[in-house]
């Protein structure tokens, strides 16, 4: 299947990037430097092994992750955002909204499969209704009629399904371009992509020329609807804060 | 990714929020801002349906300004230029310089709110980050030891003069005005005073929104909110945080249509008013402030090689872990910073400087004479602002008289977006005259 081939190509590319970065990335553990003098509030005098710190998240690949975080910030700044900016200046607002709705409707399939897997009848019914309403009355998903009717989206993915059945998050991972994740959620992302590819609702399998447009537009739309900007927090601890927030937010989503 | 982002916005929202008698000050008639509790107002802000009607999109330009071309760039925080926002009218118009609150960027939600309100009213707006925001400390602060309001205001003034030059071909400016909220409000007063001496702008009007009277009093209050509201002290913060998240999760699971935004918090407040644990809300305000102050203190330390939290002579690498420094910073209060880093630094710079003298310098009281007689400056405040010490609100009544506009509620900046507040703020500047043709 060409769709899976495409997916595999993406993964190989990601893996290649990962290994390149790994070569350049060194350890994140601070090392004592020449001429260094202890700080007034030194880590040794304040941080205690007996205390659990809220900011801690299991992150054995921190050096790599921080490198990837920087890479993503650069990619965002020099490539992703300029492209999205061009998209926004060309597209009228209602068309942007239509594109967002279209992709949202398409990826309801992921919500549906995972609502079923978690045996959540309410979410399963709502999601099914949403797909039917938005695909028909909403003109192949261009309009989100369901939400105006009070049928709300239930975001579910395979990472949440794994979490629902008790799988722990595993180590924190910053994925190329996609950003913060962890071992469980990365597995989830892969499973969801493969499921999507095997269902192949747009028949990309037989129309490989559509494939590139599909993925590009999807990526642009995703970034367009995401308000986050790297380093806008103005915090020297942005990496730590994002890592914690990601972890907490996923816990909330799983419990829902 | 999208999820992280929404969550991130919630955090930002929290961080940015950190934080009626009458005697000559303006009497407020009926005031229907809906949140009576000042701490809840501070965290929640203004519920969506009560927010003033403002344009959705305005023409913002992201601007960069190099203030010190020769300053060395650090690997860990590789900022060269100060970032600010310009919102320009097409025709000639007065300009308002807007200064952000403690630890906040020029893009904070409150700055964006002010941009919309003043742009809609016909002004150009230039939004500046707070001198306590990392990017400002790195690129535009003279000492890189922030918190000294006179010094920081002089830094802002220098930046404004450079910006005036930088934007002169982009917008046609008829005259200049000033606004700031929280710490930025107090700085606006010092900037206005500085301009009386230096005269680069001849400001027509200035407005202070919820300023502290005495910076030190206010940060002490915020420090205590965190330290005194965690059962068992800061070493138990993790347990406290987990408990809070469990409860939050409970609300989150219950609600049907959820997205994290200010209204989500408001709905919890509205539905569970009786059950809201105020010490928890206070701790949240304290935590947000502590994160802001940790950011500020650590950035300053990295830039000055102060040996305060980062070992002296240690250069942070690009991917070096800072998690332990976060743990340390989050245990250092602003009061500690003041005593251990700030005071010695300014005592070393100025012979004869004492702690009492420095504390006085950091207070609006030090320029009370100027504020009393300067008709161009007004203040808008809340009777129940949580960053004021008991009785401090009377300072504004007494000094500003009819130029003090004090609302009965709203906490610290919680009511800034409320329709009455926006109307008042815009009117204050409009009286000076935007030319509506």
Q: What is the pLDDT of residues B376-434, one digit of tens each?
A: 999 999 999 999 999 999 999 999 999 999 999 999 999 999 999 999 999 999 875 45
What is the rounded average pLDDT for all residues in chain A? Answer: 88
- What is the pTM assigned to this prediction? 0.89
pLDDT score of B12: 42
CA distance B139 to chain A (A): 13
- Decide if A51 touches B, using CB distance below 8 A: yes
ipTM score assigned to the predicted complex: 0.87
Contact flag A246-B129 (C-beta cutoff 8 Å):
no
- Decide if B56 touches A, using CB distance below 8 A: no
Hey, what domains does chain B have and what are their CATH numbers? 20-38+46-213+364-430 (3.40.50.1820), 220-349 (no CATH)
- Decide if A79 touches B, using CB distance below 8 A: no
The whole-angstrom separation of Cα A236 and Cα B326 is 9
Q: Which residue among A47, A225, A236 sits closest to B328, beta carbon to beta carbon?
A: A47
Please list every residue in chain A whose beta carbon sits closer than 8 Å to the beta carbon of residue B257.
Answer: 147, 152
Query: Mean pLDDT highest for which of A143-152, A190-199, B111-120, B261-270?
Result: B111-120
Which residue segment(s) compose the domain that A119 sits in? 2-6+61-255
User: Is residue A87 one of the residues assigned to a domain?
Assistant: yes
Averages of pLDDT over runs of 10 residues in chain B (437 residues) are: 44 41 56 91 90 92 95 86 96 97 92 96 97 96 95 97 96 97 97 96 96 93 91 87 83 66 72 73 89 94 95 92 95 93 92 89 95 95 95 95 95 95 94 51
Interface of B with A in 162-191 (CB under 8 A): none
Contact flag A152-B256 (C-beta cutoff 8 Å):
yes
Interface of B with A in 221-240 (CB under 8 A): 235, 237-239
pLDDT score of A245: 92
Residue B65, SS3? strand
Contact flag B322-A228 (C-beta cutoff 8 Å):
no
pLDDT score of B396: 97
User: Is residue A31 one of the residues assigned to a domain?
Assistant: no
CA distance B56 to chain A (A): 12
User: Is residue A23 one of the residues assigned to a domain?
Assistant: no
Nearest alpha carbon to residue B178 among B204, B158, B156: B204
Q: What is the pLDDT of residues A82-97, one digit of tens each?
A: 999 999 999 998 999 9
User: Is residue A40 one of the residues assigned to a domain?
Assistant: no
User: Is residue A80 one of the residues assigned to a domain?
Assistant: yes
Q: Which residue among A55, A67, A255 sits closest to B327, beta carbon to beta carbon?
A: A55
Q: With 70 as the cut, is the pLDDT of residue A99 above it? A: yes
Q: Chain B: residue nearest A230 by CA?
A: B5
DSSP for B79-140, written as a single string: --SEEEEEE--SS-EEEEEEE--TT--TTSHHHHHHHHHHHHTT-EEEEE--TTSHHHHHHT
Other Cβ atoms closer than 10 A to B232:
9
User: Is residue A28 one of the residues assigned to a domain?
Assistant: no
User: Is residue A195 one of the residues assigned to a domain?
Assistant: yes
DSSP for A155-190, written as a single string: ---HHHHHHHTT----SEEEETTTEEEEHHHHHHHH
The whole-angstrom separation of Cα B326 and Cα A57 is 13
The whole-angstrom separation of Cα A194 and Cα A7 is 8
Contact flag B8-A242 (C-beta cutoff 8 Å):
yes
Which of B2, B8, B284 to mutate to probe the A interface, most A CBs <10 Å?
Answer: B8
Q: Chain A: residue nearest B237 by CA?
A: A54
- Decide if A23 touches B, using CB distance below 8 A: no
Q: Is the dihedral of CA B63, B68, B70, B75 positive or negative?
A: negative
Q: What is the pLDDT of residues A202-244, one digit of tens each?
A: 888 788 778 888 889 999 999 999 888 898 888 999 999 999 9
DSSP for B292-338, written as a single string: HHHHHHHHHHHHHT--SSSPBTPPPPTT---HHHHHHHTTS-HHHHI
- Decide if B249 touches A, using CB distance below 8 A: yes
Number of domains observed in the structure of chain A? 1
Q: Are B35 and B408 in contact (CB under 8 A)?
A: no
Residue A206, SS3? coil
pLDDT score of A240: 95
User: Is residue A183 one of the residues assigned to a domain?
Assistant: yes
């Amino acid at each position: 299947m060409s769709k899976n081939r495409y997916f595999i190509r993406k993964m190989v590319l990601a893996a290649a990037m990962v290994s390149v970065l790994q070569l350049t990335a060194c350890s994140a553990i601070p090392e004592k430097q020449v001429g260094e003098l202890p700080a007034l509030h030194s880590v040794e005098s304040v941080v205690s092994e007996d205390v659990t710190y809220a900011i801690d998240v299991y992150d054995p690949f921190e050096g790599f992750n921080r490198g990837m975080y920087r890479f993503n910030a650069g990619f965002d700044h020099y490539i992703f955002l300029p492209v999205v900016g061009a998209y926004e200046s060309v597209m009228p607002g209602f068309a942007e909204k239509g594109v967002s709705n279209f992709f949202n409707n398409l990826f309801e399939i992921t919500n549906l499969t995972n609502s079923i897997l978690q045996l959540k009848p309410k979410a399963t019914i709502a999601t099914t209704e949403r797909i039917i309403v938005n695909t028909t009355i909403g003109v192949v998903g261009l309009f989100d009629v369901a939400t105006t009717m009070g049928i709300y989206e239930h975001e579910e993915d395979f990472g949440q399904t794994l979490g629902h059945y008790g799988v722990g998050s595993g180590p924190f991972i910053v994925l190329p371009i996609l950003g913060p994740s962890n071992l469980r959620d990365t597995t989830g992302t892969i499973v969801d992509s493969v499921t999507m590819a095997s269902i192949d609702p747009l028949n990309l399998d037989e129309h490989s020329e559509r494939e590139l447009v599909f993925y590009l537009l999807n990526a642009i739309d995703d970034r367009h609807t995401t308000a986050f900007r790297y380093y806008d927090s103005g915090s020297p601890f942005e990496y730590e804060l994002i890592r914690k927030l990601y972890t907490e937010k996923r816990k909330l989503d799983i419990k829902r | 990714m999208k999820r992280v982002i929404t969550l991130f916005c919630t955090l930002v929202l929290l961080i940015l929020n950190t934080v009626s008698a009458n005697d000559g000050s303006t009497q407020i008639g009926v005031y229907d801002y809906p949140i009576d509790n000042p701490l809840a107002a501070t965290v929640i802000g203004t519920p969506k349906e009560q927010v003033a009607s403002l344009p959705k999109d305005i023409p913002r330009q992201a601007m960069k300004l190099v203030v010190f071309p020769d300053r060395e760039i650090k690997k860990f925080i590789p900022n060269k230029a100060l970032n600010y926002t310009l919102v320009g009218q097409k025709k000639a118009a007065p300009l308002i310089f807007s200064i952000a609150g403690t630890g906040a960027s020029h893009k904070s939600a409150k700055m964006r709110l002010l941009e919309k309100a003043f742009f809609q009213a016909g002004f150009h707006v230039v939004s500046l980050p707070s001198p306590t925001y990392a990017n400002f400390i790195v690129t535009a602060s003279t000492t890189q030891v922030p918190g000294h309001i006179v010094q920081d205001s002089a830094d802002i003034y220098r930046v404004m003069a450079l910006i005036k030059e930088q934007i002169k071909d982009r917008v046609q400016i008829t005259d200049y005005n000033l606004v700031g909220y929280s710490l930025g409000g107090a700085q606006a007063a010092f900037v206005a005073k500085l301009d009386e001496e230096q005269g680069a702008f001849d400001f027509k009007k200035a407005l202070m929104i919820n300023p502290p009277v005495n910076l030190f009093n206010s940060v002490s209050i915020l420090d205590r909110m965190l330290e005194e509201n965690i059962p068992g002290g800061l070493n138990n913060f993790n347990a406290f945080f987990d408990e809070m998240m469990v409860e939050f999760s409970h609300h989150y699971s219950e609600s049907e249509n959820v997205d994290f935004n200010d209204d989500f918090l408001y709905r919890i407040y509205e539905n569970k008013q009786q059950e809201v644990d105020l010490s928890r809300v206070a701790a949240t305000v304290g935590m947000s402030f502590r994160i802001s102050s940790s950011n500020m203190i650590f950035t300053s330390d990295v830039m000055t090689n102060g040996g305060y939290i980062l070992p002296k002579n240690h250069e942070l690498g690009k991917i070096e872990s800072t998690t332990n420094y976060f743990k340390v910073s989050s245990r250092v209060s602003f009061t500690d910073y003041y005593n251990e880093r700030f005071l010695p630094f300014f005592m070393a710079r100025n012979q004869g400087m004492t702690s009492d003298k420095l504390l006085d310098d950091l207070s609006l009281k030090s320029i009370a004479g100027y504020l009393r007689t300067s008709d161009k400056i007004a203040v808008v405040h809340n009777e129940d602002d949580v960053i004021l010490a008991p009785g401090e609100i009377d300072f504004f009544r007494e000094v500003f008289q009819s130029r003090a506009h004090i609302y009965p509620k709203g906490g610290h900046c919680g009511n800034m977006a409320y329709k009455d507040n926006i109307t008042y703020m815009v009117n204050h500047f409009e009286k000076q005259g935007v030319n509506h043709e």
